[in-house]
Structure 1
Amino acid sequence: MLGNSNKTEQSNIAANNVTGRDDNSTTNNYYQPPLSTSNHDLVLRRLLEEHEKAKQKDADYQKFSDELNNFFKQQTEKNHRDLTQKLLDGNRENLVNVALAAKAKVTMKINKHSFSKSAQEVYTYLLTNIRITFKHTIEARIKSGKFENFDINDLVDEKIIEPFFQEVQGSRLYIDRNELYGLLYLLTGNCHIEWD
Protein backbone atom coordinates (compact mmCIF):
# COMPACT_ATOMS: atom_id res chain seq x y z
CA MET A 1 0.00 0.00 0.00
CA LEU A 2 1.44 3.41 -1.06
CA GLY A 3 -0.79 5.76 1.00
CA ASN A 4 1.63 8.56 2.17
CA SER A 5 4.50 8.28 -0.33
CA ASN A 6 3.98 11.85 -1.73
CA LYS A 7 4.06 13.57 1.66
CA THR A 8 6.71 16.34 1.91
CA GLU A 9 8.64 17.09 5.10
CA GLN A 10 9.12 20.89 5.61
CA SER A 11 11.07 21.15 8.84
CA ASN A 12 14.57 22.65 9.19
CA ILE A 13 14.23 24.71 5.99
CA ALA A 14 16.96 27.37 5.65
CA ALA A 15 16.32 28.65 2.11
CA ASN A 16 14.15 31.58 0.97
CA ASN A 17 11.90 29.58 -1.35
CA VAL A 18 10.26 26.24 -0.68
CA THR A 19 9.10 24.40 -3.77
CA GLY A 20 7.80 20.96 -4.50
CA ARG A 21 9.89 20.72 -7.62
CA ASP A 22 11.46 23.37 -9.91
CA ASP A 23 12.36 26.82 -8.53
CA ASN A 24 12.09 29.42 -11.34
CA SER A 25 12.62 32.51 -9.17
CA THR A 26 15.09 35.24 -10.13
CA THR A 27 17.63 36.94 -7.89
CA ASN A 28 18.86 40.44 -8.81
CA ASN A 29 22.08 41.74 -7.29
CA TYR A 30 22.95 45.42 -7.67
CA TYR A 31 26.52 46.64 -7.40
CA GLN A 32 27.28 50.15 -6.14
CA PRO A 33 30.93 51.00 -6.85
CA PRO A 34 32.77 52.36 -3.83
CA LEU A 35 33.48 56.08 -3.75
CA SER A 36 37.07 57.08 -4.31
CA THR A 37 38.91 58.52 -1.34
CA SER A 38 41.51 60.96 -2.62
CA ASN A 39 42.08 64.11 -0.55
CA HIS A 40 39.92 66.40 -2.66
CA ASP A 41 37.23 63.68 -2.73
CA LEU A 42 37.08 63.86 1.06
CA VAL A 43 36.86 67.66 1.06
CA LEU A 44 34.02 67.69 -1.44
CA ARG A 45 32.27 64.83 0.38
CA ARG A 46 32.47 66.86 3.63
CA LEU A 47 31.05 69.94 1.86
CA LEU A 48 28.22 67.88 0.39
CA GLU A 49 27.41 66.45 3.82
CA GLU A 50 27.44 69.95 5.32
CA HIS A 51 25.11 71.06 2.52
CA GLU A 52 22.68 68.28 3.36
CA LYS A 53 22.74 69.14 7.08
CA ALA A 54 22.36 72.87 6.46
CA LYS A 55 19.53 72.28 4.03
CA GLN A 56 17.66 70.33 6.68
CA LYS A 57 18.21 73.02 9.35
CA ASP A 58 17.58 76.22 7.39
CA ALA A 59 16.82 76.63 3.70
CA ASP A 60 17.28 80.43 3.69
CA TYR A 61 20.77 81.90 3.86
CA GLN A 62 21.37 85.62 3.78
CA LYS A 63 23.87 86.39 1.00
CA PHE A 64 25.57 85.15 -2.10
CA SER A 65 29.17 84.18 -1.40
CA ASP A 66 31.72 86.75 -2.58
CA GLU A 67 34.09 83.99 -3.62
CA LEU A 68 31.42 82.27 -5.72
CA ASN A 69 30.34 85.61 -7.14
CA ASN A 70 33.90 86.21 -8.43
CA PHE A 71 33.42 83.34 -10.88
CA PHE A 72 30.44 85.17 -12.40
CA LYS A 73 32.38 88.40 -12.92
CA GLN A 74 34.13 88.91 -16.21
CA GLN A 75 37.89 88.88 -15.71
CA THR A 76 39.74 91.72 -17.40
CA GLU A 77 41.12 90.71 -20.75
CA LYS A 78 42.85 92.78 -23.43
CA ASN A 79 40.50 91.78 -26.20
CA HIS A 80 37.10 90.98 -24.70
CA ARG A 81 35.73 87.75 -26.18
CA ASP A 82 32.54 85.96 -25.22
CA LEU A 83 32.20 82.19 -24.80
CA THR A 84 31.24 81.67 -28.44
CA GLN A 85 34.29 83.54 -29.74
CA LYS A 86 36.64 81.71 -27.36
CA LEU A 87 35.37 78.34 -28.51
CA LEU A 88 35.61 79.40 -32.16
CA ASP A 89 39.18 80.64 -31.59
CA GLY A 90 39.98 77.27 -30.03
CA ASN A 91 38.60 75.37 -33.07
CA ARG A 92 35.65 74.09 -31.06
CA GLU A 93 32.77 75.40 -33.14
CA ASN A 94 30.99 72.05 -32.73
CA LEU A 95 30.59 72.79 -29.00
CA VAL A 96 29.19 76.33 -29.15
CA ASN A 97 25.46 75.51 -28.83
CA VAL A 98 26.01 72.78 -26.24
CA ALA A 99 28.35 75.04 -24.25
CA LEU A 100 25.95 78.00 -24.25
CA ALA A 101 23.06 75.79 -23.12
CA ALA A 102 25.11 74.05 -20.40
CA LYS A 103 26.45 77.38 -19.10
CA ALA A 104 22.96 78.91 -18.98
CA LYS A 105 21.53 75.87 -17.20
CA VAL A 106 24.22 75.73 -14.50
CA THR A 107 24.04 79.50 -13.99
CA MET A 108 20.30 79.26 -13.35
CA LYS A 109 20.82 76.38 -10.94
CA ILE A 110 23.51 78.23 -8.98
CA ASN A 111 21.22 81.27 -8.78
CA LYS A 112 18.40 79.02 -7.56
CA HIS A 113 20.63 77.94 -4.66
CA SER A 114 21.99 81.44 -4.06
CA PHE A 115 20.65 81.56 -0.48
CA SER A 116 22.10 78.20 0.50
CA LYS A 117 25.52 78.69 2.04
CA SER A 118 26.38 75.00 1.75
CA ALA A 119 25.39 74.85 -1.94
CA GLN A 120 27.49 77.96 -2.58
CA GLU A 121 30.45 76.26 -0.93
CA VAL A 122 30.01 73.16 -3.11
CA TYR A 123 29.86 75.22 -6.31
CA THR A 124 32.78 77.41 -5.21
CA TYR A 125 34.81 74.29 -4.50
CA LEU A 126 33.94 72.78 -7.89
CA LEU A 127 34.67 75.97 -9.83
CA THR A 128 37.95 76.55 -8.02
CA ASN A 129 39.18 73.01 -8.56
CA ILE A 130 37.97 72.75 -12.15
CA ARG A 131 39.87 75.98 -12.92
CA ILE A 132 43.03 74.79 -11.15
CA THR A 133 42.94 71.37 -12.82
CA PHE A 134 42.37 72.96 -16.22
CA LYS A 135 45.17 75.49 -15.74
CA HIS A 136 47.72 72.94 -14.51
CA THR A 137 46.80 69.90 -16.59
CA ILE A 138 45.07 70.98 -19.79
CA GLU A 139 45.92 74.55 -20.74
CA ALA A 140 49.63 73.93 -21.37
CA ARG A 141 48.77 71.09 -23.74
CA ILE A 142 46.35 73.31 -25.66
CA LYS A 143 48.90 76.12 -25.95
CA SER A 144 51.64 73.71 -27.09
CA GLY A 145 49.67 72.98 -30.27
CA LYS A 146 50.91 69.37 -30.14
CA PHE A 147 47.58 67.84 -29.17
CA GLU A 148 44.47 67.25 -31.25
CA ASN A 149 41.11 68.50 -29.95
CA PHE A 150 39.96 64.93 -29.32
CA ASP A 151 43.04 64.37 -27.12
CA ILE A 152 42.18 67.48 -25.12
CA ASN A 153 38.52 66.40 -24.89
CA ASP A 154 39.58 63.00 -23.53
CA LEU A 155 41.88 64.68 -21.03
CA VAL A 156 39.13 67.07 -19.87
CA ASP A 157 36.82 64.11 -19.35
CA GLU A 158 39.50 62.04 -17.58
CA LYS A 159 40.96 64.76 -15.33
CA ILE A 160 37.96 67.01 -14.67
CA ILE A 161 34.51 65.72 -15.55
CA GLU A 162 34.69 62.08 -14.47
CA PRO A 163 36.55 62.58 -11.14
CA PHE A 164 34.24 65.38 -10.03
CA PHE A 165 31.17 63.49 -11.25
CA GLN A 166 32.18 60.54 -9.07
CA GLU A 167 32.56 62.88 -6.10
CA VAL A 168 29.11 64.47 -6.34
CA GLN A 169 27.17 61.23 -6.68
CA GLY A 170 24.40 60.97 -4.10
CA SER A 171 24.17 64.71 -3.46
CA ARG A 172 20.74 66.32 -3.37
CA LEU A 173 22.16 69.01 -5.63
CA TYR A 174 21.89 66.38 -8.41
CA ILE A 175 24.99 67.54 -10.26
CA ASP A 176 25.44 65.62 -13.51
CA ARG A 177 28.13 65.59 -16.20
CA ASN A 178 26.37 68.26 -18.25
CA GLU A 179 26.39 70.56 -15.23
CA LEU A 180 30.12 69.98 -14.73
CA TYR A 181 30.71 70.92 -18.37
CA GLY A 182 28.49 73.95 -17.72
CA LEU A 183 30.83 75.00 -14.91
CA LEU A 184 33.78 74.59 -17.29
CA TYR A 185 32.06 76.79 -19.89
CA LEU A 186 31.09 79.34 -17.23
CA LEU A 187 34.79 79.63 -16.39
CA THR A 188 35.58 79.95 -20.11
CA GLY A 189 32.94 82.61 -20.74
CA ASN A 190 34.14 84.71 -17.81
CA CYS A 191 37.82 84.57 -18.82
CA HIS A 192 39.06 82.23 -16.10
CA ILE A 193 40.28 79.64 -18.62
CA GLU A 194 41.11 79.63 -22.35
CA TRP A 195 40.88 77.06 -25.12
CA ASP A 196 43.41 78.64 -27.53
Structure 2
Amino acid sequence: MSTQIGNTAGGDVVARDKIVETHFHGGPVTALSRLYQILRDDDKAANYTARIAEMLHHYCAAQSADVRGLEEKLRVSGRAYLVDDAVDLKQRAAKLIMRWQTSPVTQDIITHVLAKIHQAFMFTVRPAIEGGATLIQVDQLINDNVIEPTCQMLGENDLGITPIDIAGLLFFLGGNCHVRWDKC
Protein backbone atom coordinates (compact mmCIF):
# COMPACT_ATOMS: atom_id res chain seq x y z
CA MET A 1 0.00 0.00 0.00
CA SER A 2 1.31 3.45 -0.83
CA THR A 3 0.40 6.75 0.73
CA GLN A 4 0.36 10.27 -0.56
CA ILE A 5 1.54 11.89 2.66
CA GLY A 6 4.39 14.30 2.17
CA ASN A 7 4.16 14.47 -1.61
CA THR A 8 4.57 17.83 -3.22
CA ALA A 9 3.66 18.61 -6.78
CA GLY A 10 3.62 21.64 -9.00
CA GLY A 11 0.23 20.53 -10.38
CA ASP A 12 -2.44 17.93 -9.84
CA VAL A 13 -1.73 14.66 -8.08
CA VAL A 14 -4.00 11.94 -9.43
CA ALA A 15 -4.14 8.25 -8.74
CA ARG A 16 -5.45 7.21 -12.12
CA ASP A 17 -7.00 9.00 -15.12
CA LYS A 18 -7.07 12.74 -15.25
CA ILE A 19 -9.72 14.35 -17.42
CA VAL A 20 -9.19 17.92 -18.44
CA GLU A 21 -11.88 19.82 -20.32
CA THR A 22 -10.66 22.52 -22.62
CA HIS A 23 -13.10 24.93 -24.20
CA PHE A 24 -12.26 26.91 -27.30
CA HIS A 25 -14.45 29.86 -28.02
CA GLY A 26 -14.55 31.47 -31.43
CA GLY A 27 -14.23 35.13 -31.95
CA PRO A 28 -17.10 37.44 -31.27
CA VAL A 29 -20.25 36.89 -33.31
CA THR A 30 -20.67 39.80 -35.65
CA ALA A 31 -23.88 40.88 -37.27
CA LEU A 32 -22.63 39.65 -40.65
CA SER A 33 -21.45 36.26 -39.40
CA ARG A 34 -24.87 35.74 -37.79
CA LEU A 35 -26.58 36.72 -41.07
CA TYR A 36 -24.32 34.40 -43.07
CA GLN A 37 -25.34 31.51 -40.80
CA ILE A 38 -29.02 32.38 -41.26
CA LEU A 39 -28.47 32.46 -45.03
CA ARG A 40 -26.82 29.01 -44.97
CA ASP A 41 -29.64 27.59 -42.83
CA ASP A 42 -32.31 29.20 -45.03
CA ASP A 43 -30.73 27.71 -48.16
CA LYS A 44 -30.83 24.24 -46.60
CA ALA A 45 -34.42 24.75 -45.48
CA ALA A 46 -35.46 26.13 -48.88
CA ASN A 47 -34.00 23.11 -50.71
CA TYR A 48 -35.73 20.74 -48.28
CA THR A 49 -39.03 22.61 -48.58
CA ALA A 50 -38.88 22.66 -52.38
CA ARG A 51 -38.19 18.92 -52.54
CA ILE A 52 -41.05 18.10 -50.18
CA ALA A 53 -43.45 20.47 -51.96
CA GLU A 54 -42.68 18.77 -55.28
CA MET A 55 -43.28 15.30 -53.84
CA LEU A 56 -46.52 16.36 -52.15
CA HIS A 57 -47.70 18.07 -55.35
CA HIS A 58 -47.44 14.71 -57.11
CA TYR A 59 -50.16 13.33 -54.84
CA CYS A 60 -52.27 16.49 -54.86
CA ALA A 61 -52.54 16.70 -58.66
CA ALA A 62 -54.35 14.36 -61.04
CA GLN A 63 -51.83 11.88 -62.45
CA SER A 64 -53.75 9.47 -64.66
CA ALA A 65 -55.64 9.32 -67.92
CA ASP A 66 -58.54 7.96 -65.84
CA VAL A 67 -60.11 11.33 -65.06
CA ARG A 68 -63.30 9.98 -63.53
CA GLY A 69 -64.16 11.53 -60.21
CA LEU A 70 -64.07 9.70 -56.91
CA GLU A 71 -67.85 9.27 -56.92
CA GLU A 72 -67.85 7.56 -60.32
CA LYS A 73 -64.96 5.26 -59.37
CA LEU A 74 -66.80 4.17 -56.25
CA ARG A 75 -70.13 3.65 -58.05
CA VAL A 76 -68.57 1.59 -60.86
CA SER A 77 -66.83 -0.63 -58.30
CA GLY A 78 -70.07 -1.34 -56.41
CA ARG A 79 -69.34 1.08 -53.57
CA ALA A 80 -72.11 3.65 -54.14
CA TYR A 81 -72.95 3.33 -50.45
CA LEU A 82 -69.57 4.93 -49.65
CA VAL A 83 -69.91 8.01 -51.85
CA ASP A 84 -71.17 10.49 -49.24
CA ASP A 85 -68.70 9.39 -46.56
CA ALA A 86 -65.84 9.15 -49.06
CA VAL A 87 -66.42 12.67 -50.39
CA ASP A 88 -66.53 14.03 -46.82
CA LEU A 89 -63.37 12.14 -45.83
CA LYS A 90 -61.60 13.26 -49.00
CA GLN A 91 -62.40 16.89 -48.15
CA ARG A 92 -61.16 16.39 -44.59
CA ALA A 93 -57.93 14.93 -46.01
CA ALA A 94 -57.49 17.96 -48.28
CA LYS A 95 -57.99 20.24 -45.27
CA LEU A 96 -55.43 18.23 -43.30
CA ILE A 97 -52.90 18.79 -46.07
CA MET A 98 -53.77 22.49 -46.32
CA ARG A 99 -53.60 22.98 -42.55
CA TRP A 100 -49.96 21.94 -42.52
CA GLN A 101 -48.82 23.57 -45.77
CA THR A 102 -46.47 25.95 -43.93
CA SER A 103 -44.63 23.18 -42.08
CA PRO A 104 -42.10 21.38 -44.30
CA VAL A 105 -41.58 18.62 -41.73
CA THR A 106 -45.31 17.94 -41.47
CA GLN A 107 -45.62 18.03 -45.26
CA ASP A 108 -42.86 15.44 -45.37
CA ILE A 109 -44.75 13.22 -42.91
CA ILE A 110 -47.98 13.55 -44.92
CA THR A 111 -46.09 12.81 -48.15
CA HIS A 112 -44.68 9.62 -46.60
CA VAL A 113 -48.19 8.62 -45.50
CA LEU A 114 -49.61 9.24 -48.99
CA ALA A 115 -46.71 7.31 -50.56
CA LYS A 116 -47.27 4.38 -48.18
CA ILE A 117 -51.00 4.31 -48.96
CA HIS A 118 -50.34 4.49 -52.71
CA GLN A 119 -47.61 1.83 -52.64
CA ALA A 120 -49.64 -0.61 -50.52
CA PHE A 121 -52.72 -0.14 -52.70
CA MET A 122 -50.73 -0.53 -55.91
CA PHE A 123 -48.98 -3.76 -54.89
CA THR A 124 -51.60 -5.56 -52.80
CA VAL A 125 -55.07 -4.23 -53.55
CA ARG A 126 -54.76 -3.46 -57.26
CA PRO A 127 -53.64 -6.99 -58.23
CA ALA A 128 -56.54 -8.47 -56.24
CA ILE A 129 -59.02 -6.20 -58.05
CA GLU A 130 -57.57 -7.18 -61.43
CA GLY A 131 -57.71 -10.84 -60.35
CA GLY A 132 -61.44 -10.62 -59.67
CA ALA A 133 -61.48 -10.37 -55.86
CA THR A 134 -64.86 -9.69 -54.29
CA LEU A 135 -65.76 -6.33 -52.79
CA ILE A 136 -65.43 -7.79 -49.28
CA GLN A 137 -62.01 -9.28 -50.08
CA VAL A 138 -60.81 -5.95 -51.50
CA ASP A 139 -62.07 -4.03 -48.48
CA GLN A 140 -60.30 -6.49 -46.16
CA LEU A 141 -57.08 -6.05 -48.16
CA ILE A 142 -57.43 -2.27 -47.87
CA ASN A 143 -57.82 -2.53 -44.12
CA ASP A 144 -55.08 -5.14 -43.56
CA ASN A 145 -52.51 -3.92 -46.10
CA VAL A 146 -53.15 -0.19 -46.42
CA ILE A 147 -54.84 1.35 -43.39
CA GLU A 148 -53.43 -0.74 -40.52
CA PRO A 149 -49.78 -0.74 -41.70
CA THR A 150 -49.98 2.99 -42.33
CA CYS A 151 -51.26 3.51 -38.78
CA GLN A 152 -48.35 1.45 -37.49
CA MET A 153 -45.89 3.42 -39.61
CA LEU A 154 -46.98 6.66 -37.90
CA GLY A 155 -45.32 5.59 -34.64
CA GLU A 156 -45.70 8.32 -32.03
CA ASN A 157 -48.22 10.05 -34.33
CA ASP A 158 -47.81 13.60 -33.06
CA LEU A 159 -50.21 14.75 -35.78
CA GLY A 160 -53.01 12.61 -34.36
CA ILE A 161 -53.81 10.96 -37.70
CA THR A 162 -56.51 8.33 -37.17
CA PRO A 163 -57.42 5.28 -39.26
CA ILE A 164 -60.41 7.19 -40.65
CA ASP A 165 -58.04 10.02 -41.65
CA ILE A 166 -55.97 7.43 -43.52
CA ALA A 167 -59.12 6.25 -45.29
CA GLY A 168 -59.73 9.90 -46.19
CA LEU A 169 -56.23 10.14 -47.64
CA LEU A 170 -56.96 7.00 -49.67
CA PHE A 171 -60.12 8.64 -51.05
CA PHE A 172 -58.05 11.79 -51.67
CA LEU A 173 -55.69 9.69 -53.80
CA GLY A 174 -58.70 8.17 -55.57
CA GLY A 175 -60.07 11.62 -56.34
CA ASN A 176 -56.69 12.64 -57.76
CA CYS A 177 -56.47 9.63 -60.08
CA HIS A 178 -53.83 7.65 -58.16
CA VAL A 179 -56.05 4.71 -57.17
CA ARG A 180 -59.23 3.09 -58.46
CA TRP A 181 -61.48 0.35 -57.13
CA ASP A 182 -62.49 -1.23 -60.44
CA LYS A 183 -60.64 -3.17 -63.14
CA CYS A 184 -58.68 -1.27 -65.77
Instruction: Report the TM-score when normalising by structure 1.
Output: 0.64
Superposed counterparts of 1:33-52, under 5 Å: none
Hey, which bits of structure 1, 4+ residues long, moved more than 3 A?
61-64
Cα distance in 1 for residues equivalent to 2:154 and 2:71: 28
Question: How much does 1:62 deviate?
Answer: 6.8
Counterpart check, 1:97 vs 2:84: yes
Q: Which residue of 2 aligns with 1:70?
A: 58
Q: Which residue of 1 aligns with 2:125?
A: 138
Cα distance in 2 for residues equivalent to 1:88 and 1:132: 23
The runs of 5 or more residues in structure 1 that have no matched partner are 1-60
Q: Which residue of 2 aligns with 1:122?
A: 109
Structure number with higher helix proportion: 2
The runs of 5 or more residues in structure 2 that have no matched partner are 1-47
Question: How much does 1:109 deviate?
Answer: 1.1
Q: Which residue of 2 aligns with 1:165?
A: 151
- Aligned residues with identical type, % of pairs: 29
**Deviation sequence 1:100-151 (CA, Å, 0-9, x none):** 1111001101101001111111111111121111111110111222x21111
* Contact preservation (8 Å) 1:134, 1:193: yes
Q: Which residue of 2 aligns with 1:16?
A: none
Cα distance in 2 for residues equivalent to 1:80 and 1:159: 26
Larger radius of gyration: 2
* Contact preservation (8 Å) 1:187, 1:193: yes
Q: Which residue of 1 aligns with 2:142?
A: 156
* Contact preservation (8 Å) 2:64, 2:178: no
Instruction: Report the TM-score when normalising by structure 2.
Output: 0.68
Secondary structure at the counterpart of residue 65 of structure 1: helix
CA RMSD of aligned residues (A): 1.9
Cα distance in 1 for residues equivalent to 2:158 and 2:101: 15
Q: Which residue of 1 aligns with 2:21?
A: none
* Contact preservation (8 Å) 1:169, 1:175: no
Cα distance in 1 for residues equivalent to 2:178 and 2:49: 27
Q: Which residue of 2 aligns with 1:82?
A: 69
Secondary structure at the counterpart of residue 60 of structure 2: coil
Q: 1:76 to 1:148 in 2, by over 3 A?
A: closer
